[in-house]
Amino acid sequence: MATMKAVQYVTFGAGAEVREVEKPTPGPGEVLLKVTAAGACHSDQFIMGMPAGPENPYRLPLTLGHEGAGIVEALGPGTKNVEVGEAVLVFGPQGCGRCHACAAGNENNCENFMDAPGINHHGAMAEYMIVKDVRHLVPLGDLDPIASASLTDAGLTPYHAIKPAVTRLIPGTTAVVIGVGGLGHVGVQILKAMTSTRIVALDVSADKLAFAREVGADEAFISDEGAIAQVRALTGGRGADVVFDFVGAQPTLDLAHALVAVMGEVVIVGVAQGSIPVGYLTMKFDTSVRVVNWGTRAELMEVVELARRGAVAIHTEEFTLDQATEIYERMHAGTLRR
């Protein structure tokens, strides 16, 4: 039996383990990828933090990694339209491919199921992985896989958050980005590349604010009550046309609620599960609130194009597969930038 190394979540409540497992063989229509890079994500912590029991949707052992890049190594019987040796990214939120949402390209909101690598089936944190359909492979060309693997989530999710707001972010408008971490710093770059709005970054960390300015923020403030006055002063009292909350906790959503302008929009990207009161006189007139879920395959192609032009770069730290356990411990302790 040929074997390979994989980073697996094996026991509910325990951390990730590096294990020797069977190297998979592609079935009909499937593709075997030799993995060139995989991203570690805070949602892996979310998966591993969920208690065991009937509510827990995960089937163990599970190879982690919903952000993956690889080289096509072998094709299953009948697999077409892809060549061995091609460099690709793996599109994560894989739907049924047949329902109306999938037909419209919104596979991330499939009406039937979400079948994501590293979440619902074995993911990219292994030497090899199976991709169930060639449509989930997005050409990477000569882009560096290590710098690009996280485009599939840390790039795609902010892109999906920002793209629908682009037409309103004309000159004279202001967009506020709350939380300039793994996704937020990409959000700043996408806003810079796709709009002419003034970008204001808010974060609790002065280091992250300096980083936000480096990647394109026009202004950067500590996200306390003072931020409300600072944004009001900048905007002649109007507030922010769009607030992107990359944290989603109660204090940041309270801030978003206070900052949004009349006819503005609050876009919730962070998964911290705070909430925002929406109602007559509790929200400014003609505002809307949107909650985002990952992104579409076409949008992933667009994000790759931005990366190819150098408009978006995800800051990464590099590790070997054997260091995976340590990465998740450091992520938990908050000492990883990404």
CB of 104 to Zn ion, least distance (A): 10
Q: Stretches 14-22, 110-118, 135-143, 238-246: which one binds Zn ion (CB under 5 A)?
A: 110-118
Q: Stretches 33-41, 45-53, 115-123, 263-271: which one binds Zn ion (CB under 5 A)?
A: 33-41
Does 150 engage in binding with Zn ion (CB under 5 A)? no
Q: Report the alpha-carbon distance of residue 139 to residue 146 in Å, rounded.
A: 15
Does 314 engage in binding with Zn ion (CB under 5 A)? no
Q: Strand 62-63: give its sheet, edge to edge.
A: 16-22, 3-9, 62-63
CB of 244 to Zn ion, least distance (A): 17
Mutual orientation of helices 297-308 and 184-194 as an angle, nearest 10°?
Answer: 80
CB of 157 to Zn ion, least distance (A): 7
* The one among 69, 110, 131, 220 contacting Zn ion by CB under 5 A: 110
Q: Stretches 19-27, 146-154, 211-219, 278-286: which one binds Zn ion (CB under 5 A)?
A: 146-154
CB of 292 to Zn ion, least distance (A): 13
Query: Which residue is it, tokens 């972010």?
Result: 169
* The one among 4, 33, 37, 41 contacting Zn ion by CB under 5 A: 41
* The one among 68, 70, 95, 179 contacting Zn ion by CB under 5 A: 95
Does 43 engage in binding with Zn ion (CB under 5 A)? yes
- Go through 117-156 and write b for each residue having 16 or more CB atoms within 10 A of its CB, e for each that does not: bbbbbbbbbbbbbbbbebebbbebeebebebbbbbbbbbb
| SS3 call for 3 | strand
Q: Of the two residues 187 and 239, which places its CB atom closer to Zn ion in the complex? A: 187
Q: Report the alpha-carbon distance of residue 227 to residue 235 in Å, rounded.
A: 12
Does residue 61 have a cis bond before it (omega within 30 degrees)? yes
CB of 73 to Zn ion, least distance (A): 24
Does 96 engage in binding with Zn ion (CB under 5 A)? yes
Does 155 engage in binding with Zn ion (CB under 5 A)? no
Does 156 engage in binding with Zn ion (CB under 5 A)? no
Q: Report the alpha-carbon distance of residue 49 to residue 320 in Å, rounded.
A: 23
Does 153 engage in binding with Zn ion (CB under 5 A)? yes
Q: Stretches 45-53, 148-156, 159-167, 180-188: which one binds Zn ion (CB under 5 A)?
A: 148-156
Longest dimension (CA), the chain: 69
Radius of gyration in angstroms for the set of CA atoms belonging to the chain, rounded to a whole number? 20
Q: Of the two residues 89 and 234, which places its CB atom closer to Zn ion in the complex? A: 89
> Residue 19: CB partners within 8 Å, gap ≥ 6?
5, 6, 7, 8, 10, 61
CA nearest to 141, candidates 88, 96, 186: 88
Chain residues binding Zn ion by CB under 5 A are 41, 43, 95-96, 99, 102, 110, 112, 153
